């Protein structure tokens, strides 16, 4: 059964870093691009980044460019999001989703950026 499980959420102070992981199972991970999407409490969905199936091509939303890095380890079926210089506006639930259509999503992990 296809499954995406996110890890790594928590409370972090502004300016600090955090790394999220998304472990995939039930499909050939290395065949698919992967996305990160986030959602602030009570708000809509906000696309963050996407990485190609081989990890070579990476694209980011302007709001995170230069601060966040998406990566993957196909041998471990794992997607990552390294988040640096975190801001209060980065607070929210972060989801990984299978590309290119974002046709399957994980349950999300909550990031709270607060002093």
Partner 1 sequence: EIVMTQTPLSSPVTLGQPASISCRSTQSLVHSDGHTYLTWLQQRPGQPPRVLIYEISNRVSGVPDRFSGSGAGTEFTLKISRVEAEDVGVYYCMQAKQIPHTFGGGTTVEIK
- In the complex with partner 1, the residue whose CB is nearer, 23 or 102, is 102
Residue 115 Cβ vs partner 1, minimum distance, rounded to whole Å: 27
CA–CA distance, 92 with 85 (Å, rounded to integer) = 15
Measure the N-to-C terminal CA separation of the chain; round to a whole number of Å.
40
* Nearest to partner 1 of 10, 26 (CB atom): 26
Contact residues: partner 1, CB under 8 A: 35, 39, 44-47, 50, 59, 61-62, 93, 95, 99-108
Nearest-angstrom CA–CA distance, 81 and 94:
10
Number of Cβ within 10 Å of residue 23's Cβ equals 16
CA-closest candidate to residue 35, choices 76, 7, 72 = 72
The nearest distance, CB 45 to partner 1, in angstroms, is 4
Shortest distance in whole angstroms from residue 100 CB to partner 1: 5
The smaller minimum CB distance to partner 1, of residues 46 and 84, is found at: 46
């Amino acid at each position: 059964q296809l499954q995406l499980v996110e890890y790594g959420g928590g409370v972090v102070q502004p300016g600090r870093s955090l790394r999220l992981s998304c472990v995939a199972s039930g499909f050939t991970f290395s065949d698919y691009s992967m996305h990160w999407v986030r959602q602030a409490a009570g708000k809509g969905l906000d696309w963050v980044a996407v990485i190609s199936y081989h990890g070579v091509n990476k694209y980011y939303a302007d709001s995170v460019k230069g601060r966040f890095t998406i990566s993957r380890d196909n041998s471990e079926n794992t997607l990552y999001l390294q988040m640096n210089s975190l801001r209060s506006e980065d607070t929210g639930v972060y989801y990984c989703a299978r590309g290119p259509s974002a046709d399957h999503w994980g349950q999300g992990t909550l990031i709270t950026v607060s002093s």
